[in-house]
Amino acid sequence: MSADVDPASLSPAEPERKVGLVLSPAWRRRFATLGWGFVSIGLFAGIWELLWALGYANPLLLPPPHLFLSDIPGTLQYFDRSNRIGSVASGGGVLALLLTMGSTTLRVVIGLTLGFICGVAVGATIHYIKPARNLLLPTILLLAPISPVAWLPVAIFVFGIGDVPAVFLVFITVFFAIVLSTGAQIESVPKNYIHVARIMGATRRQTFWRVILPSILPSLFMTLRLNLFAAWMVVLIAETVGVGTGLGQITSMARSTFNARLVFFTMGIIGVLGFLSDWGLRQVQRKMLWWVAPNQGASR
Amino acid sequence: MSSRPAISIRSVSKRWTPEGRAPVQALSNLTFDVAPGEFIVLLGPSGCGKSTLLYMIAGLEDVSGGAIFCDGEPVTEPSAERGLIFQEASLFPWLTIADNVAFGLAIQHEQPVRRREIAIEMLKRVGLGDMLDKKPDELSGGMRQRAACARALAMRPKVLMMDEPFAALDVQTRSRMQDFLLQIWRDSGACVLLVTHSIDEAISLADRVVVFTARPGQVKTIVPIDLPRPRQSRDPRYHAYRDMFTELLADEVERAFAEQEAG
């Protein structure tokens, strides 16, 4: 909408500036966001550094940023390229760090994608096919409140040590939420949308793919985004226990070797990845669900 | 008239059975015909079941008794020949205006190029020729309603039904939309059934006005409007019609009120 045009840019009293750098309001807002981001993080790090300088923060337990960021090559040697538990770190380096980040991210992405697709499929089946609803819904309602973490032993019993249990836990995190939300969203599709489809002679299949699915996708995507952070938590726990590589494994190893620098370095990486993946989902939403206003929804 | 009626409604009644309560008689024993190309307005107090009648003609609701015939064929299911326009335009927000208009054609597997041609033609006809690739929420209420019209017209319906289509619009837009509707009606040759509770809307549009009683809805009377178009609200005959309808409805509104009070 044109409502959020900066009033200053409209005021006729303002003489035209001759200075070279003139930014559009959108860019100015972006820079402001970025600037405040730096100020906020800087303040947090500054207080931490101050506490260290005053001697309140023990550098062995709570090493301030300049300590855990100073020796990055030294830290990186703990990252391993092989996807095996207990393998001796062989050099590490930036590539190993990227591989570790990549494998954790990949587990999240695969788990979320599978969970989303299966969730919508099962949710729609439950909604439309009465016997399926009678058979499945009670079990789903029983399983849905169980914390994904509680599934971890089951995942390891069934799938063994490896990538699958981690992906499975992420899957569980979104699956039940999407199943239950799909049914509720199908209920709330405006009746007139369905009427229009029926009048135009749409079959049930056409109505589902062309009317129901597009009208429920935005809210389902919102459910997915709300569960993204839970998915990140769960994947780290799974990696701590059941997978040879990944950021969770590094954190666990850092804890058991009392390597506080590595702990905070990895936490920083995890924070950045979580932020980036939410940003990524928002971009996907903008591209694929273009009819939904960009600011609509959670975590904005 | 030699040709058979476009729609005939024969002793139609409708009962609702709300869960756990006594059934409600919404419509009882309606009988009237609509000639091809005729403009009919259904006028009545709110809750009298006039919208329900439209939904039954559209085939979206079943009749509880009697039968509805369209071109001599009994109505059993919805058909694009009987287009229905709602109070809200109900355009799909994920489609552009042109794709919305072409939605029915896509359902019927029309070629994409042909679809686009028809959508452009229809949108030009409703005065939205430059809005093809806009999103529905970029349009004003009146424009959206015209786009919904174009979507129904793209299927070349024989009957165009409208359920209080202009009720959500402001007064100025409303009267422009009425002019627009008359033009569409003349161009398309379809017969129009329009539900309203506005007496002025009925007088300025209709060939015949079907006046409903309060619930259970019955045909109270059918009044042909014998005025040349465009109709002027200054015309004394227009006033006479308005007085007549006001009186006809006053009883019914009172009865509906009394019934609601009684619970």
- Contact list, A198 vs chain B (CB under 8 Å): 59-60, 78
- β-bridge mates for residue A10, sequence order: none
B18 inside domain: no
Q: pLDDT tens digit string along B107-124?
A: 999 899 999 999 999 998
Q: Rounded mean pLDDT of B20-25?
A: 84
Same domain, B71 and B164: yes
End-of-domain residue from the set B156, B172, B191: B156
B129 inside domain: yes
B7-16 vs B24-34, strand pairing mode: antiparallel
Kindly state whether A219 is in contact with chain B, defined as any CB-CB distance less than 8 angstroms.
no
Kindly state whether B104 is in contact with chain A, defined as any CB-CB distance less than 8 angstroms.
yes
8 Å CB contact between B61 and B54: no
Q: Rounded mean pLDDT of A60-69?
A: 86
A209: closest chain B residue by CA: B107
Q: Pick from B59, B60, B107: which is nearest to A200 by CB? A: B107
Q: How does the average pLDDT of chain B come out, rounded?
A: 89
Domain that holds residue B205: 34-81+157-263
Asked if B137 and A211 come within 8 Å (Cβ–Cβ), the reply is no
pLDDT confidence bin for B49, thresholds 50/70/90: confident
Asked if B103 and A196 come within 8 Å (Cβ–Cβ), the reply is yes
The torsion of the CA quartet B203, B204, B210, B212, rounded to 10 degrees, works out to: -60
Same domain, B248 and B125: no
The torsion of the CA quartet B85, B87, B89, B93, rounded to 10 degrees, works out to: -130
For residue B78, give how far its alpha carbon lies from the nearest alpha carbon of chain A (Å): 5
B233 inside domain: yes
Q: What is the secondary structure of A135-161 as a DSSP string?
A: HHHHHHHHHTTS-GGGGHHHHHHHH-S
- Contact list, B82 vs chain A (CB under 8 Å): 199
Same domain, B184 and B62: yes
- Contact list, A192 vs chain B (CB under 8 Å): 86, 88, 90
What is the structure's pLDDT at A114?
96
Would the pLDDT of A60 be above 80?
yes
Asked if B107 and A198 come within 8 Å (Cβ–Cβ), the reply is no
Could you tell me the sign of the dihedral formed by the alpha carbons of B205, B209, B213, B215, in that order?
A: negative
End-of-domain residue from the set B156, B185, B212: B156
Same domain, B170 and B235: yes
End-of-domain residue from the set B156, B174, B203: B156
Asked if A193 and B83 come within 8 Å (Cβ–Cβ), the reply is no
Among A186-200, A235-249, B226-240, top mean pLDDT goes to A186-200
Q: pLDDT tens digit string along A246-292?
A: 888 888 888 888 888 888 888 999 999 999 999 998 888 888 887 77
* Helix intervals (H) in chain A: 7-10, 25-53, 65-68, 72-76, 94-128, 130-143, 152-159, 163-187, 191-199, 204-207, 213-226, 228-242, 247-256, 260-288
B116 inside domain: yes
Same domain, B61 and B131: no
Same domain, B163 and B262: yes
What is the structure's pLDDT at A182?
94
Asked if A200 and B80 come within 8 Å (Cβ–Cβ), the reply is yes
Among A21-30, A276-285, B168-177, top mean pLDDT goes to A276-285
Asked if A193 and B103 come within 8 Å (Cβ–Cβ), the reply is no
Nearest to B223 by CA among B202, B209, B241, B213: B209
**Within a 10 A sphere around the Cβ of A131, how many other Cβ atoms?**
7
- Contact list, A193 vs chain B (CB under 8 Å): 90, 92
8 Å CB contact between A181 and A223: yes
B109 inside domain: yes
8 Å CB contact between B90 and B72: no
Asked if A211 and B92 come within 8 Å (Cβ–Cβ), the reply is yes
Q: What angle do CA B57, B61, B66 make, to 5 degrees?
A: 65
Kindly state whether A229 is in contact with chain B, defined as any CB-CB distance less than 8 angstroms.
no
Q: pLDDT tens digit string along B184-208?
A: 899 888 999 999 989 999 999 999 9
pLDDT confidence bin for B161, thresholds 50/70/90: very high
**% of chain B with per-residue pLDDT over 70:** 98
Kindly state whether B58 is in contact with chain A, defined as any CB-CB distance less than 8 angstroms.
yes
- Contact list, A288 vs chain B (CB under 8 Å): none
Nearest to B256 by CA among B50, B47, B30: B47
Task: Find out if CATH 1.10.287.40 is the number for domain A107-288.
Answer: no
Kindly state whether A35 is in contact with chain B, defined as any CB-CB distance less than 8 angstroms.
no
B59: closest chain A residue by CA: A199
Kindly state whether A206 is in contact with chain B, defined as any CB-CB distance less than 8 angstroms.
yes
Would the pLDDT of A179 be above 70?
yes
B29 inside domain: no
**What CATH number does the domain containing B171 carry?**
3.40.50.300
Question: CB neighbours of B91 closer than 8 A, spacing ≥ 6?
Answer: B97, B100, B136, B144, B147, B148, B151
For residue A296, give how far its alpha carbon lies from the nearest alpha carbon of chain B (Å): 14
For B145, the enclosing helix (H) or strand (E) is: helix B141-153
**Coil/strand/helix, residue B114:** helix
Task: Find how far residue A71's CA is from the centre of its chain.
Answer: 29
Q: pLDDT tens digit string along A189-199?
A: 999 999 999 99
Asked if B93 and A291 come within 8 Å (Cβ–Cβ), the reply is yes
pLDDT confidence bin for A82, thresholds 50/70/90: low
Asked if B106 and A195 come within 8 Å (Cβ–Cβ), the reply is no
Same domain, B46 and B116: no
Spans of all domains in chain A: 107-288
What is the structure's pLDDT at B114?
93
Would the pLDDT of A1 be above 80?
no
**Within a 10 A sphere around the Cβ of B201, how many other Cβ atoms?**
23
Same domain, B103 and B76: no
What is the structure's pLDDT at A299?
35
Same domain, B98 and B212: no
Same domain, B175 and B75: yes
Asked if B80 and A214 come within 8 Å (Cβ–Cβ), the reply is no
Q: How many domains does chain B have?
A: 2
What is the structure's pLDDT at B263?
58
Same domain, B182 and B241: yes
- Contact list, A196 vs chain B (CB under 8 Å): 90, 92, 103, 151
A205: closest chain B residue by CA: B107
Number of residue pairs across A and B with CB atoms under 8 Å? Answer: 60
Give the whole-angstrom CA distance, residue B133 versus residue B232.
37
B83: closest chain A residue by CA: A199
Q: Rounded mean pLDDT of A229-233?
A: 90
Indicate the range of A153-162, A242-251, B125-134 predicted with least confidence: A242-251
Q: Pick from B90, B106, B137: which is nearest to A192 by CB? A: B90
Same domain, B129 and B168: no
Asked if A201 and B135 come within 8 Å (Cβ–Cβ), the reply is no
Q: pLDDT tens digit string along A85-122?
A: 444 555 567 788 888 888 899 999 999 999 999 999 99
If you search the block for the tokens 């015949």, which residue do you land on?
Answer: B208
**% of chain A with per-residue pLDDT over 70:** 85
What is the structure's pLDDT at A80?
66
Kindly state whether A198 is in contact with chain B, defined as any CB-CB distance less than 8 angstroms.
yes
What is the structure's pLDDT at B17?
85
pLDDT confidence bin for A6, thresholds 50/70/90: very low
Would the pLDDT of A150 be above 80?
yes
8 Å CB contact between B213 and B220: yes
Q: Which of A1, A195, A198, A200 to mutate to test the interface with B (most CBs of B within 10 A)?
A: A200
Note if the pTM is more than 0.90.
no
- β-bridge mates for residue B82, sequence order: B159
